[in-house]
Structure 1
Amino acid sequence: MRPASSSPAELVLVRHGETEGQSSIRLHGATDVALSSLGLQQIERVAAALAAEPGFAAVLASPLQRSRAAAALVAAGQRPPPPVTVVPEFAEVDFGAWEGLTFAEVAERDPSGHGRYLAEGLGFTYPGGESRQAFWDRVQAGARRVLAAPASPRVVAVLHKGVIKAVIAALTGMPHAEAIALPVSLAGVYRLRHRADGRWDIHVQNATDHLGELDLGG
């Protein structure tokens, strides 16, 4: 995972590691699951890779413990350790009645809802949970609030799969359909660079070389 060359500002987006209950395949959005032992190892690999780079001025996290714990490990690897700031808008989507299920289980147990999920795009609301549009708007508002005009040259944010996609869309102007198709592996890393016109460009996409045999995708 090579550090980016000098630029006006860089945002490093890291997905948290594997969690208790298999976040690689199960829908754990609002459910506050902890990192598994494997997930901790994955984030330790991220922290070690980032420790070799120039220091970050800030580390961002969501309110959920899998994000906060991973962010704390990343921050601890820096010298001096930067503060970890929790951004409420960066909580993962609430999947409602689908929490804890795989998409295969959703299709089997709720075929009608699964069909609407595939057909309605941002217009879909998870049964008993959050609408996809409300989630997208919430995360993008948070991204613009804390990241659109970076106050420091380098920031790392340790977040969730869906949140990372929404942040990238907010900062780069990427359409929703394109952003939701982006790969975001467990403990995978994106790097965005800030441009003079205020937009961001993706410089590194879903790097996982630092994980070695711990790369599960996800």
Structure 2
Amino acid sequence: MKKIFGLLLVVLAVFAIASCVSEPAPKKDSPLDATVAYPPKILEHKGTAWGANPPAWLMEALKGYKFVERMADYQGKIVVIVEQDGESREGAELAASRLDAIPRISTLMGLRVKDTFAGAQVGDKDKIETYMERVVKVASETRFSGFMMEDSWWTYLQTYTPEGKADKRTYRVIQLWTMSKAALEKQLDSILKGEAANEPKTPEKERAIQAVQNAFYEGF
């Protein structure tokens, strides 16, 4: 949630970026709001030199990855948003691309599998809880092949202390990674079927597993 909230603050600030840097005005204390949150201020971003606004996918990503997947440019693709902070732009970009992207993609795929199981409208799911747990675990540890970085955006931020004083300056890199749904489904099918083979076979479990597998991609 921190990363999503940080991404929201960054993108909204892009459209209100000022030509000069100043500390935010102090906010009056309120008995209902003793803690004041000072969002980071954008000093520069990828489009500053050309007067360009953030790409449409970045704005849709604020609402969730599925909103990006519904865009015309990303129909038939699975989307993952990777975010990385760093003292230098090059360092943040390198970390996002090589260090953070692959494990983050695996983690997010595991979460998507877990959410898909939770939302599956099939009966007898309680009979295959261990099966679903194993699938989630394997998916979160799998390095899915086929993901590529399609686009990226960076911002240079001035951060503030809880008291509103200027703190560190940092670069934030946000990358859009995609993969064709067909290619991902092939790899997920292998996990779903592989773990099903390890499940003790009973008629009830086999029916429940088959029902979950049949409905799996409806909510993925």
Q: Give the TM-score of the pair, scaled to structure 2.
A: 0.25
RCO higher in 1 or 2 (8 Å CA, sep ≥ 6)?
1
Write 1 or 2 for the structure with the bigger share of strand: 2
